[in-house]
Homo-oligomer: A and B are copies of this chain.
Amino acid sequence: MNQYPHSTRLLVAIDCIIFGFDGDEIKLLVIKRNFEPERGKWSLMGGFVNQEEDLEVGAERILYELTGLNNIYVEQLLTFGKVNRDPVERTISVVFFALINIHSHDEESVRAHNAHWVSLKNMPQLIFDHEKMVQNALERLRYKAALHPIGFELLPETFTIPQLHKLYEAIYGMQLDRRNFSRKILSTGLLVDTGEKNENSATKKAVLYRLDKEKYEDKFHSFWYFMPEPSA
Residues of A within 8 A of B (CB): 1-4, 7-12, 48-55, 76, 78-83, 87-92, 94, 143, 145-147, 168, 172, 176-177, 180, 184, 223-228
A11 touches B2 (CB 8 A): no
Other CB < 8 Å A-B pairs besides A180-B228, A223-B225, 19 of them?
A3-B88, A4-B89, A4-B91, A7-B11, A7-B48, A12-B92, A49-B81, A51-B90, A55-B79, A55-B81, A76-B79, A79-B79, A79-B94, A92-B92, A146-B223, A146-B224, A146-B227, A176-B227, A225-B225
Of B1, B55, B172, B223, which contacts A92 at CB under 8 A?
B55
> Roughly how many angstroms separate A2 CA and B37 CA in the complex, as a whole number?
11
A228 touches B176 (CB 8 A): yes
A176 (CB) vs chain B CBs: closest residue = B228
> Roughly how many angstroms separate A1 CA and B88 CA in the complex, as a whole number?
8
B contact residues around A2 at 8 Å (CB)? 87-89
> Roughly how many angstroms separate A90 CA and B50 CA in the complex, as a whole number?
11
- Work out how many copies of this chain go into the complex: 2
Q: How far apart are A193's CB and chain B's nearest CB, in angstroms?
A: 21
B contact residues around A76 at 8 Å (CB)? 78-79
B contact residues around A11 at 8 Å (CB)? 4, 7, 9-10
A77 (CB) vs chain B CBs: closest residue = B78
> Roughly how many angstroms separate A232 CA and B171 CA in the complex, as a whole number?
20
With A3-B88, A79-B94, A81-B94 known as contacts, the answer to whether A8 contacts B51 (CB < 8 A) is yes
B147 touches A226 (CB 8 A): yes
B contact residues around A90 at 8 Å (CB)? 51
B contact residues around A147 at 8 Å (CB)? 147, 223, 225-226
